[in-house]
Structure 1
Amino acid sequence: MRLLVPLLVWISFAVPGFAQRLAPPFSVTTIDGRRVSLDDLAGKVVLLDFWATWCGPCIEALPHMKRIAQEFADEPLVILSVSLDSDANDQKWRTFVARNQMTWLQARDGGFNGPTARLFGVTAIPHTFTIDAEGVLQDEQIGDAAIESKLRKLCDRARRMREGSRSEIALAR
């Protein structure tokens, strides 16, 4: 018991520190062949979603991801789903994305050893990372979790930042 209390105190201070870590710079090729990097998404909240066509829990979470995509369609939010399907499953992945009308950004990383999965330390899926408009990691979830309220707050902040930038530009003129 004496060791448990200090450990819990240490964990309580360690977890908030995650929110101050910058997201690692990454670049992926989307399903339509475009290159997208974290720099390209600056100023927007990014929901980075690691999944695979062979992952039962990922498929179960798909309706939730679709609802998020619809609910936040007019917000400064980009959903980027990164499949861990292997190169051998490329056509299966493409068919799955089309059949399930996954209309947000889609990329494939080639497995848990893919460059983006390694950068983020992905060892289980579904696995999501929420990155704020300034590129700071704000949240990490393994499994399907209700994250809408967190996304709403981050989108509101991103919108205010963007509006503040416009105001500063107008004042400079």
Structure 2
Amino acid sequence: MKKSKNPLVLLVTICMCVLSSFIADVNERPVAPNFTLESIDGKKVSLTDFKGKVVYIDFWATWCGPCLAEMPHSKKLKEKFVGNDSIVFMYVSVDSEENIDDWKSLVKKKGMSGVQLISRDGYEERVADRYGISFIPRFVLVDKNGKIAYLNAPAPSTPEAETLIRQLLKE
């Protein structure tokens, strides 16, 4: 077998090997804590509503600069999966009760698609505690069986996010 002298090929190969090791065997994955939160439309939405699909969860807030900086990348990532009904992009805002109008306004102003939910300060449904959210933005990947495949998933601005999603879709 001929060895590649291209360092980029070597780096990508190493990254793929490392990334694949992060996704635990399906049988070893913990069940993702379920939650039911209010959507931007005022409907109740549960994580379990999406069993059978890969769910990429983005925990964010309107006042978080790094969160907002990831949004254009998230849009591009979602565009790579247009037409694929096996992936759901879910955004859980941890804005406070007093910022709900700002949240709704920002989502509409920026044309943010996907499942838009609010967990007031992260306390509602104890989402922040149950997912160990101590900072945002924070990304979580849930597999088709409703299990946590990656509790600290890569940000949408990284190529690893797409790679991990594609691996989970193949399972």
Letter in 2 for 1:61: E
Mapped partners of 1:155, 1:16: distance in 2: 14
Structure 1 SS opposite 2:145: coil
The answer to whether 1:79 aligns with 2:89 is yes
- Alignment of structure 1 residues 4-23 onto 2, 5 Å: 16=24, 20-23=29-32
Partner of 1:118: 129
Task: Say whether the 8 Å CA contact 1:82–1:106 is kept in structure 2.
Answer: yes
The one-letter code sitting in structure 1 at the alignment partner of 2:82 is: A
- Pick aligned residue for 1:33 from 28, 39, 42: 42
CA offset at residue 17 of structure 1? 8.2
| Partners of 2:63 and 2:42 in 1: CA distance | 23
Identity of aligned residues (%): 33
Give 4+ residue runs of structure 1 displaced > 3 Å after superposition. 15-19
Letter in 2 for 1:109: S
For residues 42-96 of structure 1, give each alpha carbon's deviation from its aligned partner in whole angstroms, at most 9, with x where no partner exists. Answer: 1000111100010011011111111122111222101110001111011111110
Give the match for residue 141 of structure 2.
130
**Structure 1 length as normaliser, TM-score?**
0.76
Letter paired with 1:111: D
Distance 1:112 1:40, change over 3 A: closer
1:19-98 mapped onto 2 (5 Å cutoff): 20-75=29-84, 76-98=86-108
Stretches of structure 2 that go unaligned for 5 or more consecutive residues are 1-22
Kindly state the Cα deviation for residue 142 of structure 1 after the two structures are TM-superposed: 6.9
Distance in 1, matches of 2:77 and 2:167, equals 14
* TM-score when normalising by structure 2: 0.77
Moved more, 78-87 or 29-38: 29-38
Give the greater-gyration-radius structure (CA).
Answer: 1
